Amino acid sequence: MLIFFTRQLYILIKAGIPLLKALQIVAAQLPAGKFRIAAERLAGDIQEGKSFSEALSAAAQYFSLFYVNMIKAAEVTGNLTGILKELSEHLSSHRKIVRQVQAALLYPILVLLLSVSILLVLMVFVVPVFVRIFQDLGGSMPPTTLFLMNISNLLIHWSWLFVLILAALAISAILVYRNSRRGRYFISGLIWSLPLFGRILKLLEISRLCRTLGTLLSSGVTLVKGLDVLIETTPGIILQEALQDIRLKIEQGKSLSAGMEEAGIFPLTLVRMIQVGEESGKIAELFLEAARDYEEEVSFAVNGMLSLLEPILIVVMGSVVGFIVISLFFPIFTISGLVK
């Protein structure tokens, strides 16, 4: 909805329609719901004499601090059309890359959930039937079949305990993440260190930072104010603390690139790009260029991860299912001898 709202507003204002009339037209096009009510309230606030940024601030659940500050910059510079276009492109780019990463993460999660479900059905319902049949025939079971039988019994009789332990661990992790800054830092660091996924998520956060700060700076927002917006809107605690340190160092007289280098979490290439930007006065352009580069890198990493995960998941799950099938059917081969 936000992208549609911003895009339509940009088109109408570019066509010369006044802001109030443009808001009323866009609100009328929105489907019934809370966002439409918020858009109609925006038009009402502006009609009462409020500025656009003030009206947006009153609907903070739909319009982020980044969005509001971009509009404030537009009010100062008088370039509402250009900034609405930048906002639309920024939101579209961010949604595209986030959806790509979500799809990449969703695929292996769904495959694992399906595989685990199949394994649980085999272990809880199929294995006990085969074991009882073989025991009734009086044969001695091979070690692999005994192993499956023990795992099956464990799942049947103690599954509630496993579920309880997992639920307790999940609730504890959520509480620690929400209530402890150190816990949030530890969990965020753990996520960044995950194989395959960690690097992609880190690049995604850094690309978002670059695009957001580059868009703010190119719209006329000062560097310190842009960092304030990033600190408020960045969800990752690691980047958030790094930005706070960088802002403090800038106030102490250090350069942005020096603060980024001392933070130790930004790629050296990015630091050197910003150093060049400081010397040439083109920080905003280089942040936006870096954002495009990192978004492409995320896209390549996602495609590479999927091409790597597919055969790995197939081999692993095929091996597990194959082990179960062999362990179950190997004793059956001796049933005919037992019957005779």
Kindly report, residue by residue over 189-236, the tens digit of the pLDDT: 888 888 777 888 888 888 888 888 888 888 788 888 888 888 887 877
- Find, among 147, 145, 152, 144, the residue nearest to 121 by Cα: 152
| Cα 139 from Cα 334, distance rounded (Å) | 8
What letter does residue 139 receive in the DSSP assignment?
Answer: P
Which residues does 131 contact at the CB level (< 8 Å), separation at least 6? 141, 145, 148, 149, 152
Give the residue ranges of DSSP H helices in the chain: 2-14, 19-29, 34-47, 52-57, 65-77, 80-121, 127-136, 143-179, 181-192, 197-218, 223-233, 237-251, 256-263, 268-280, 283-332, 335-339
What is the percentage of the chain residues whose pLDDT exceeds 90?
0
Which residues does 42 contact at the CB level (< 8 Å), separation at least 6? 23, 27, 52, 55, 56, 59
pLDDT class of 336 with cuts at 50, 70, 90: low
| Cα 95 from Cα 101, distance rounded (Å) | 10
* 133 within 8 A of 338, measured Cβ to Cβ: no
Kindly report, residue by residue over 97-127, the tens digit of the pLDDT: 878 777 777 777 787 788 778 777 877 777 7
CA 306 to chain centre: 16
Q: Is residue 136 pLDDT above 60, yes or no?
A: yes
Over residues 67-71, the mean pLDDT reads: 83
* 263 within 8 A of 236, measured Cβ to Cβ: no
| Cα 266 from Cα 273, distance rounded (Å) | 11
| Cα 167 from Cα 190, distance rounded (Å) | 20
Comparing 62-66, 130-134, 302-306, the range with the smallest average pLDDT is: 130-134
Which residues does 145 contact at the CB level (< 8 Å), separation at least 6? 131, 134, 327, 328, 330, 331
Q: What integer pLDDT is reported at residue 224 of this predicted model?
A: 87
Kindly report, residue by residue over 1-27, the tens digit of the pLDDT: 888 888 888 888 888 888 888 888 888
Query: Which two structure tokens, joined as six digits, stand for 103?
Result: 């799809």
pLDDT class of 66 with cuts at 50, 70, 90: confident
| Cα 299 from Cα 230, distance rounded (Å) | 23
- Find, among 305, 292, 296, 311, the residue nearest to 105 by Cα: 305
Q: Count of alpha carbons within 13 Å of 107, Cβ hemisphere only?
A: 16
Q: Is residue 29 pLDDT above 80, yes or no?
A: yes
Mean pLDDT score across all residues of the chain: 81
Q: Is residue 141 pLDDT above 70, yes or no?
A: no
Burial 313-337 (b: 16+ CB within 10 A, else e): eeeebeeeeeebeebbeebeeeeee
Q: Is residue 257 pLDDT above 60, yes or no?
A: yes
